[in-house]
Structure 1
Amino acid sequence: MRPDHDDSPAGLRRRTLLLSLLAGGCAPDTPVLQGGWVGTHPERGHRLRGPLPAADGPLRKAGVLIVGAGIAGLGCARALAQRGIDDIALLDLEDQAGGNSRGHQLAGSPCPLGAHYLPLPGEEAREVSELLHELGLARSRLGRTEWDERQLCHSPQERLFIDGEWHEGLLPPADDAATREQYRRFADLVAQAQREAGFAMPTRRARWTAAHAALDAQPFSTWLDRAGLHSVRLRWYLDYCCRDDFGADAAGVSAWAGLHYFASRHGFHAPGDETAEREPVLTWPEGNGWLSARMAEPLRERIHLGRSVLRVAEGRHGIDLLAWNEAADAPERWQARAVVLATPLFIAARLLAAPPEALRRATAQLSHAPWLTANLLLSEPLLTRPGAPPAWDNVRYGTRALGYVDARHQSLDPTPRPPLLTAYLALPTARRAELLNQPWQHWAGVVSDELAQTHPDLPAKLVRADLCRFGHAMSIPTPGLRSSAALTALSEARGRIVFAHADLAGYSVFEEAYTAGVTAAARLSL
C-alpha cells in the first residue's frame, strides 16, 4: 500500500462507507459496483472449531480416501490411478477442485483465483515434467524438450512502474553505479550458492548440508545486511520476490528461502549480463486453474466436493472419517483402508484423533500468509502511461502489493473487449481477521486505491470486482523451518495415513505440492 494510505480504524470505516455507497448507487448517475466474495468458504473450514456432530447416516467406503483436492491431492490420485488403484475418493470442502490453483469466470472470460503461472520445470522436477508431457504441453524430440509456444507467456511479459513511467522487467533500473555494483554482487553470491551449496526444486532433491542449515537459521534480511547489500532498489525487489513466492518480506523468511528463490531456478542476472534470459513461464487466462481442471477431469467421478472433513480416526480394521456434506447439510461417514491428508498440516493436526508427535511439532513451527485475489472488470481500456506497453504482469515500485496480471493477455481472440485484471495482495498475518471480517466492498476499495497509484482512471472504470480470500494461503519459510526434523519425518512417513502438501517443503509452489502428492502415493500401506 502507498505510504499515505490511512489504515487507521477511522480510515478503514470511511473507505468502507464510500465503497458501500458506490455499491448501493448513492446517486442516480453513480454506477453500481457489482461483485462479491467468490471461490472460498471460510465458514466451512471453521466447522473444525465447533463440537463434532453425531456420526450418523449411511456408511460409504473407499480403498483410499484423499482429504483435499488441491494440487497435492490431485497429484496423489493421479499417481494411484496410474498404478491401477481405482478405488479412490477425494473429499474437498470447496465446490471446485484445485486448491490455490483454481480458475474463475467473469463476464464470460476465464481468470485466476490463485496461482497464475508455472515456470518451466528443471531436471529435478521430473514428476512435474512428466505431467506436462502427459497434458500435451511438452514433447521430447531428439533428446530435447519442446514446449507448446501457445502456452508460454506472450510478450511483453513483465513491466515495473518507477520514476513516473513503465520499464520493461520487474528489476528496478539501476540509477547509479553503486546500485549496479550491488546488483552484480548479489548475482555473484547467488551463483556461488548454486555452486557450493546446491539448490533444487523440489527442495528435497538437493542434499541438505551444514551450509544450508546456516542459511536457514537467519533471516534473509540479516544475510543481506552482512553481505553489505543495502541498495534500496535491490532490497525492494527482493522483498517483492519473497512476498510473491512466500507471503512475507526478506525479514520474515530465511536466507535459505531467499536464495532458493533464485538458485533453484535460473539464478539472478544483473542488468547488462549478456547471458541473461528471461525465465520462460507457462500461463493461461485462468492461471494454474487450467492445470488443475485437466488434472481433475479424469477423476471427476471420484471427487466429492462440498465435503468438510471433521475427524479422521485409525481403527483396527480401517480408518473412519467423519465429514459434513455442505449441500445436504448433514454428516457423512466414510471408511477406508488408507488415508492421504493432502491438507495444510495444521488442518491435518485438527482432523486426526491421535496426531503423531512430528505433526504436533511441525504445526507449532508453521505460519501461513493470508492472501487476496481480486478480479476486476473494467468498462473501457485504461489510459496509456509513459514507457513500456501493457504487459502480462504489472507491478508498481515501492508498493507492498504484488501488482496485477492481465487475464486476457494470453487470449487469441482478437475481438476488442474491456480489460479484465487480476490483482494480488499478500497480507501480513496480523490482517487475517480483517480479511475474514471486513465486507468485500472494503477490500475492493483497498485494491482500487492501490491500482489508482498507476492508473488514476481505474476507479471510475471499475464495473465489477470478484474477490477471493485465502486465510491461510501459503506456508511462510521462516528461519529454521526448512531444517525442521518434524517436516522431514512427515515427508518420509509410511503407513495407512500419510501426508501430502506443500507445507512439507515449508513454502507453497506448484512443484512442491504436486511432487508431495505423487511421492505420498508411493508411501501408502495398502
Structure 2
Amino acid sequence: MIRRRAVLAAGAAAAVAGCARVPEIAGGFSGASEERGHLLRDRRAWPAPAVQRRTQVVIAGAGIAGLAAARALRRRGIEDFALLDLEDTAGGNSRGSRVGGVACPLGAHYLPVPGDDAREVQELLEELGLRRRVAGRWTYDERHLCHAPQERLFLEGQWQEGLLPLHGAGATTLAQYVRFAREVDAARRTGAFRIPLRRPAGLAPWDGETFAQWLDARGLRDERLRWYLDYCCRDDYGAGASVVSAAAGLHYFAARHGFHPPGFEGGDERDALLTWPQGNGFLAQALAAPLGERFHAGRVVLRVAEQRHGVELDAWNVRSQQVERWHAARCIVALPAFVAARVVEGASAVHDLAARTVHAPWVVANLHVRRAPRGGEGMPLAWDNVVYGQAGSLGYVVASHQDLDPRPRPTVLSWYCAPGLQARGEVLRQPWTHWRDRVLRELAGAHPRLRDLVTEVQVARFGHAMAVPIPGSLSRPAPLPSGGRLDFAHADWAGYSVFEEAFTLGHAAGQRA
C-alpha cells in the first residue's frame, strides 16, 4: 500500500465576495518514503543482524532494472532468489497509485513503442500480449496505444493540437523549426542514436557541450523553438537545455522518429506510444505479479559485501525493526548510484559512477476531479495537456484518457514538475499544499473553474528522480564492473533514465548471474 499522510486543508474562501465557498480539498503526500530513503544518511549505528536468510541470488532494488533481472532469472529456471526494496510496492519511478478510487501514475506514464534495438523490451511486450505478429507484421494492441487526441498546448489563450508552438508562428519561427529538423535528420542518419545505447562512443561529436550551447552555435535562437526543446529536455531528463548535453537533446528526437515540423519532409509523424491509467505501473505490476513471496518489501539495504564464497547483504526490515542478513551466491545491485556507493563495500567503480552522476528532483501531483475539465477553446481534452511558458511545469495527463466511455465521471489529472537541480531542498521542505496551490494557479488560465472540480490532491516527491545526461555522460558511460559475485543493473549506468535502458541492463544482469 502507498503510505499517505493525509490531512484536510481548507479550500480558499470565495474568490470574489458573495460567491459560494470553495469545497475543501483533501490531500497529502504519497509515493516514495523519504523517511526510509534517508535512514542510510541519517542513522549512524545499526544493531547486529537478528535474522539470517539464505538464497541463491539476492537482488537489491525493485525498480524496473531489478524486476527485469528477476524475470531473467525465472526465464532461466532460477527460482531461488529474493528481491528486496525499501518501498511497499515494486516499480521504482514506474509505480502507480489510486486516488479516489481512480488509477493514476506516480512517475513514468508511457512507453514509446520500442524499436528493434530494444529487443528485450519487445519480448516483454510479446509476453504480456501487447505485441503480436499479424499477417507477417508486428502489431500492438490498440487498447493500449495512446488514443487521439494525444497532445495539445495552451498558447495565447487557446488550445492547439501538438506541443510544438504553431499557433501564430511567423515565417522566421517556422524556418528555424525546419533548420533544427535537418540537424536532427543528419544526426539520426549517423546511426549513433539508439535506444538502448549500443555504441555510445558514437555520440562524442555532440557530447562535449550543453544543448543550449550547441543551439546557440548554429543560430537556433527562436524563442518558441527554444521553449519547446527545453520542455522536451525537462520532460525526459528532469533538467533543461542549459544543463543536458547536446547529445541528450538530439537523442530525444534522433533515437526515435525524428522531428517533423510543417514544411519539412515527413509531415508531422509522431511516435506511437503505450500508456495506461496507472502509467508504467501497469508494466511494473505485470513484472512483480509472478514473484510472490520472493519480493520482500520494506527492506532498506544497508550493506553489500562480496565474500570469498558468496555475498552478504544486510537490510533493515521496516516492519520488524530488525536487521536481516542475507547470504547468497550472487547479488544483483539494482540501486541508484548514490545509494549503491553507500552500501557496496570496496567497489571503486560504483563510487566513480556516483561522483559523476547528477540526479534531478521531480514532483507529481495527482488531482482527483469530479469530472474532467472541459476541452476549452481550440480542441478537446487530450491525453497530454501543456501550458506554454510555465517554468518547471510539464503539464498534466488524464488518467481516464484510454477509456472510451464518453460520460462525465471522476478522473485524475497527473501534473508533472521538474523544478530544477537546485530545488531538491524545496521539494522536500514544502508542505503538500504548496504544490496543490501551484498546480491550481498554473492551470487557472487554461481551466478557470478547475478548483471547483478538485476533491483531493496527492503529491509524490522524488528527491533523486533520474540521472541527468550532462556533457560527457552519454558518450562515456561508466563501465560495468565484471567478474566476481556482484552484478550491477540500473539506468544510472547508461547515464540517463528511460525504461528501455533500465530493463535491458536488468535483463543482462539476470542473464549473467
Query: Normalising TM by the smaller chain, what interval?
Result: over 0.9
Residue 146 (str. 1) matches residue 135 (str. 2) = no
Residue 429 (str. 1) matches residue 441 (str. 2) = no
CA distance 1:60–1:412, change in 2 (3 Å): farther
Shift of 1:143: 3.4
Unaligned runs of 5+ in 1: 1-18
Shift of 1:415: 4.7
1:489, 1:87 → 2: CA distance?
Answer: 28
Q: Is 2:12–2:22's contact at 8 Å kept on the other side of the alignment?
A: no
Tell me which of 389, 401, 412 is aligned to 2:380. 389
Q: Which residue of 2 aligns with 1:231?
A: 222
Tell me which of 491, 494, 499 is aligned to 2:488. 499
Tell me which of 235, 242, 254 is aligned to 1:251. 242
Shift of 1:429: 2.0
Aligned-partner SS, 1:442: helix
Q: Is 2:100–2:456's contact at 8 Å kept on the other side of the alignment?
A: no
Q: Which residue of 2 aligns with 1:11?
A: none
1:408, 1:340 → 2: CA distance?
Answer: 37
Aligned-partner SS, 1:185: helix
Which amino acid letter does the alignment assign opposite residue 291 of structure 2?
L
1:35, 1:445 → 2: CA distance?
Answer: 12
Aligned-partner SS, 1:301: helix
Which amino acid letter does the alignment assign opposite residue 321 of structure 1?
L
2:37, 2:20 → 1: CA distance?
Answer: 40
Tell me which of 127, 130, 140 is aligned to 1:137. 130
Deviation digits for residues 371-398 of structure 1, max 9, x if unmatched? Answer: 1111101234434421011100000111
Tell me which of 9, 14, 35 is aligned to 1:43. 35
Q: Which residue of 2 aligns with 1:199?
A: 193
1:163, 1:319 → 2: CA distance?
Answer: 60
2:94, 2:368 → 1: CA distance?
Answer: 21
Residue 222 (str. 1) matches residue 216 (str. 2) = no
Aligned-partner SS, 1:73: helix
Q: Is 2:69–2:508's contact at 8 Å kept on the other side of the alignment?
A: yes
1:23, 1:134 → 2: CA distance?
Answer: 49
Residue 128 (str. 1) matches residue 117 (str. 2) = no
Residue 306 (str. 1) matches residue 319 (str. 2) = no
Aligned-partner SS, 2:394: coil
Q: Which residue of 2 aligns with 1:77?
A: 70
Once the two structures are superposed, the pairs formed by residues 350-499 of structure 1 within 5 Å of their partners are: 350-354=342-346, 356-400=347-391, 401-484=393-476, 487-490=477-480, 493-499=482-488
Aligned-partner SS, 1:122: coil
CA distance 1:51–1:263, change in 2 (3 Å): same
Shift of 1:324: 0.9
CA distance 1:249–1:206, change in 2 (3 Å): same
Aligned-partner SS, 2:362: strand
Q: Which residue of 2 aligns with 1:275?
A: 266
Q: Which residue of 2 aligns with 1:183?
A: 177
Q: Is 1:23–1:441's contact at 8 Å kept on the other side of the alignment?
A: no
Aligned-partner SS, 1:411: coil
Q: Which residue of 1 aligns with 2:58?
A: 65
Q: Using structure 2 for the length normalisation, give the TM-score.
A: 0.93
Which amino acid letter does the alignment assign opposite residue 512 of structure 2?
R
Shift of 1:184: 0.7
CA distance 1:362–1:141, change in 2 (3 Å): same
Deviation digits for residues 142-186 of structure 1, max 9, x if unmatched? Answer: 432111001000111000011210000011106111111111111
Unaligned runs of 5+ in 2: 1-7
Aligned-partner SS, 1:100: helix
Report the number of matched residues.
498
Q: Using structure 1 for the length normalisation, give the TM-score.
A: 0.91
Tell me which of 201, 204, 222 is aligned to 1:208. 201
2:265, 2:160 → 1: CA distance?
Answer: 19
CA distance 1:514–1:381, change in 2 (3 Å): closer
Aligned-partner SS, 1:369: strand
Which amino acid letter does the alignment assign opposite residue 423 of structure 1?
W
Aligned-partner SS, 2:143: helix
2:426, 2:188 → 1: CA distance?
Answer: 40
Q: Is 1:24–1:33's contact at 8 Å kept on the other side of the alignment?
A: no
Deviation digits for residues 392-431 of structure 1, max 9, x if unmatched? Answer: 0000111121000011111244553134201000121211
CA distance 1:64–1:24, change in 2 (3 Å): farther
Q: Which moved more, 1:373-382 or 1:120-129?
A: 373-382
Aligned-partner SS, 2:187: helix
CA RMSD of aligned residues (A): 1.9
Q: Which moved more, 1:72-81 or 1:456-465?
A: 456-465
1:380, 1:289 → 2: CA distance?
Answer: 23
Deviation digits for residues 84-120 of structure 1, max 9, x if unmatched? Answer: 1111100000011011111111121111111000000
